[in-house]
Structure 1
């Protein structure tokens, strides 16, 4: 039954020694003890013109009600990052993020957040502010006054991985700093967190975000954030009409602890139609014989490369070519001895596919 749920969500959402260069980024700071936070991303609220990015008002209210009924603390992303590393005891914690800054958030989403006294983080791309369906600066000031954190989503919301390599990182940093300056000018706030447009980035881009002083950066691969992995590729479960009914399953999901990842890059290897991903897992408490892998658009093979007392190296590979897709997720799940499910996903990006 759980496999069917996991596979359903995966299909819906899919919009041996290793050297140090292949290891994940270190987290922001050393944690006192292990903690996790489940993070969600929404876009539009009660706007059924765009079902792929919309959540109904009733479903969104049901999500918030479930979090309240189950005693979750709901934080904005900056506060959640602080929580991961402070001395406070572990507590069920969720983060609600909203991308792009559509008017339907102010009209339909924000009143419900205020009703439950929940905060959230709204990521805005400043070039579109005030245009079409996007909130204007006056409306964004109202949003800020109602307990919502503003995050940086760049100025242009461009496909930066399609820019020439010799100008990509200059353009990216300029775009981010322009958005930062405009947000400061119009809202008098300095965003502390960032979200990559389309969830696409590479290592130099995440390094730039860290060097600019951001606490963390949100991606668009599904999973659970924790204080063992990089704060500059934070996973988020997408929420829209297609997977609104899966909210409770995702909220209960725990992180599959990945100690190493190779390659530690989101760029799909040009020369490989079926790229291989190696993961070193912390297997404590996991039922490793029930590990399951999924590859967007088809099946996935899972091979055990090496095992030790508390670790296992596994190899994931799609059974089909992914070279015709721009974005492809590899996902790995497993239950633990208490019956809780753990989740990890890796996003491959092929910029040659427009």
Structure 2
């Protein structure tokens, strides 16, 4: 009897420890576009790559939630390991190739569609979108026209939003709860409008990890396409933690050479191993450890930027070997694509 009691007690301790170690406070979110369509490798993922992602999530007991569900879960202080899969644009290959795999593994996802292209040659039609919704897929708003809204006036964005919402309501019976900015481009006026319309959150196209204090109306996602979708890369992103920035501001003498200032707590971060990356340029940085363990970081490119969109990425390892991630997308609207 004593042996059985001790065994039960040890088992309780083991399970309790496992439960505690399995609890997390951040969520890795991924964005996909096309599935099994090798005509467009920059936005496509091979089906065997996508299934490997799903199998890993299933084998390792991840909860896979819609974006709306994940935003609600983030209100908790800790929770079961969680991932979010999002898909932009509503291509037919999602319905034909990806949705059957999601059903196979019992997972959901959030599908962002732009309403103007629905029913086009490469795009899902309303019946397919409704069928996906009935299968448990969340439908998100990706605008009507998928325009470069930073090149227009705010009224253009307001009218586009109203058009898309009317079409969603007419065809699906409701408007979406989440929004994805076309090209990941946003400004504060767009954010304020989306929030005022009752959306739970919005995503951009900078990479990073969701956490409770993250700006809820320009959330990050890790891109997944053929070049970045190897299983080891996917697992690495799943295990990445957020760099919990308490203050962020951007300055620019001219639009082509911005400066980004961040503040965050040092805590267990190895700031001497901080890495900074700037697309199309070398990253210059300066860092100061201020009072109460606050790190003040300035990053900037070493030359004028030539791209419309430039991603700034900061990564820092902690004492446990985990990497913490922050990125910011700088947009120069005067550069046309």
Work out the CA distance in 1 between the residues paired with 2:27 and 2:293.
Answer: 23
Deviation at 1:148, TM superposition (A): 0.1
1:320 aligns with 2:290: no
**Residue in 2 aligned with 1:28?**
none
Deviations 1:297-324 (A, max 9, x none): 12101211342333211110111211x2
**Residue in 1 aligned with 2:216?**
231
1:350 aligns with 2:332: yes
1:193 aligns with 2:182: no
Deviation at 1:275, TM superposition (A): 1.4
Residue 334 (structure 1) aligned to one of 316, 322, 326: 316
1:260 aligns with 2:250: no
Contact 1:331-1:346 within 8 A present in 2 as well = yes
Work out the CA distance in 1 between the residues paired with 2:82 and 2:123.
Answer: 29
Deviation at 1:184, TM superposition (A): 1.3
**Residue in 1 aligned with 2:19?**
none
Distance 1:136 1:155, change over 3 A: same
Return the TM-score normalized by structure 1. 0.85
Deviation at 1:238, TM superposition (A): 0.3
Contact 1:72-1:94 within 8 A present in 2 as well = yes
Contact 1:34-1:226 within 8 A present in 2 as well = no
**Residue in 2 aligned with 1:250?**
237
1:91 aligns with 2:80: yes
Deviations 1:52-104 (A, max 9, x none): 100010000001111112221110000000000147x4221110000000000
**Residue in 2 aligned with 1:205?**
190
**Residue in 1 aligned with 2:123?**
134
**Residue in 2 aligned with 1:299?**
282
Residue 38 (structure 1) aligned to one of 19, 25, 28: 28
Work out the CA distance in 2 between the residues paired with 1:273 and 1:155.
Answer: 30
Report how many aligned residue pairs link the two structures: 312
SS where residue 300 of structure 2 aligns? Answer: strand
Work out the CA distance in 2 between the residues paired with 1:210 and 1:306.
Answer: 35
Structure ID, larger Rg: 2
Work out the CA distance in 2 between the residues paired with 1:180 and 1:154.
Answer: 9
Gaps spanning 5+ residues in structure 1: where?
A: 1-32
**Residue in 2 aligned with 1:20?**
none
Deviation at 1:113, TM superposition (A): 0.7
Distance 1:272 1:171, change over 3 A: closer
SS where residue 167 of structure 2 aligns? Answer: helix
Contact 1:51-1:240 within 8 A present in 2 as well = yes
Contact 2:256-2:332 within 8 A present in 1 as well = no
Work out the CA distance in 2 between the residues paired with 1:109 and 1:320.
Answer: 41
Contact 2:255-2:332 within 8 A present in 1 as well = no
SS where residue 295 of structure 2 aligns? Answer: strand
Work out the CA distance in 2 between the residues paired with 1:305 and 1:339.
Answer: 23
Work out the CA distance in 2 between the residues paired with 1:132 and 1:331.
Answer: 36
Deviations 1:253-280 (A, max 9, x none): 11011100012xxxx8472532111000
Deviation at 1:190, TM superposition (A): 2.3
Residue 51 (structure 2) aligned to one of 47, 61, 73: 61
Work out the CA distance in 1 between the residues paired with 2:253 and 2:121.
Answer: 37
Contact 1:34-1:227 within 8 A present in 2 as well = no
Deviation at 1:338, TM superposition (A): 0.6
**Residue in 1 aligned with 2:18?**
none
SS where residue 195 of structure 2 aligns? Answer: helix
Specify which structure has the bigger relative contact order, considering alpha-carbon pairs within 8 angstroms and separated by 6 or more residues.
Answer: 1
Deviations 1:159-185 (A, max 9, x none): 00111xxxx211101111211111111
- More divergent stretch after superposition (292-301 vs 232-241): 292-301
The root-mean-square deviation of aligned C-alpha atoms, in Å, is 1.5
Deviation at 1:231, TM superposition (A): 0.5
Gaps spanning 5+ residues in structure 2: where?
A: 1-22
Deviations 1:184-206 (A, max 9, x none): 11112320000000000111111
Work out the CA distance in 2 between the residues paired with 1:131 and 1:273.
Answer: 37
